[in-house]
Amino acid sequence: MPNVNRRGLMLVLSSPSGAGKTTISRRLLKDDDNLEMSVSVTTRPMRPDEVDGRDYHFIDQSRFETMVEASDLLEHATVFENSYGTPRGPVEEALSQGRDILFDVDWQGAQQLRAAMDRDLVSVFILPPLADELHSRLVNRASDPEEVVRHRMAEASGEMEHWDSYDYVVINEDIDHSVAGVRSILHAERLRRTRQIGMAGFVNGMRSELDGD
């Protein structure tokens, strides 16, 4: 469309473990060339199969603390003595170029992103269809002891408590249907009036032509 560009958006997906968020994310990234995964910084050691800049940006604790103090991270957390965070610069650059960023974060990360970039954020919470179904998925996807599965079920209950702080909720009963639902959300949000940079000039120019000016 002449003289109309779109500002990118931040698509946040959250869910309890086992609800299908990772599968949905992979399908979206595979099918959409304008959607890219956010790459976090972390202080944990790099694993043999990981690539710096693809899986994470691996930094030391001193650099991480400097980024926090300078407000260079949109969200951050410490898990099992390792720190993680989302760099502000690459996200803002992508949005200004009309590229969309996908975030796989928990509800606390989603809240921090909302506080930092509310107008650019679109959040979706993925729910399992039944508690029994979630239990079955957790049991079938790993060989964890039953006590570990019970712990994850308890964590899932805590995650679900925050479903109503999200813009959209998708019940993942069928993965194809759920992917289509999230894709529809993404498509609609891309057309949101406030993301259409230059639309006012485009409309005013068309009106001027129609009025014979």
At 120-178, the pLDDT tens digits run: 999 999 998 766 666 566 656 655 666 666 666 667 777 888 999 999 999 999 999 99
pLDDT at residue number 212: 80
CA pair distance 48, 71, nearest whole angstrom? 31
* Percent of the chain whose pLDDT exceeds 70: 87
| Angstrom distances, CA of residue 174 to CA of 100, 141, 164 | 25, 17, 22
pLDDT value, residue 155: 76
Architecture in CATH of 5-38+100-204: 3-Layer(aba) Sandwich (3.40)
129: DSSP letter: S
Q: For residues 40 and 56, is the Cβ–Cβ distance under 8 A?
A: yes
| Distances, alpha carbon 55 to alpha carbons 58, 193, 213, in Å | 9, 34, 55
Q: What is the pTM of this model?
A: 0.87
Q: Which residue has the tokens 């993404």?
A: 186
Q: CB-based contacts of 170: which residues, under 8 Å, 6+ apart?
A: 124, 125, 126, 127, 178, 181, 182
User: Which band of pLDDT confidence, cut at 50, 70 and 90, is reported for residue 54?
Assistant: very high
* Radius of gyration for the chain, computed over Cα atoms and rounded to the nearest angstrom: 20
Percent of the chain with pLDDT over 90: 70
**What per-residue confidence (pLDDT) applies to 18?**
75
When the pLDDT of each residue in the chain is averaged and rounded to a whole number, the result is 90
Residue-wise pLDDT for 77-112, tens only, equals: 998 889 999 999 999 999 999 999 999 999 999 999
> DSSP assignment, residue 193?
G
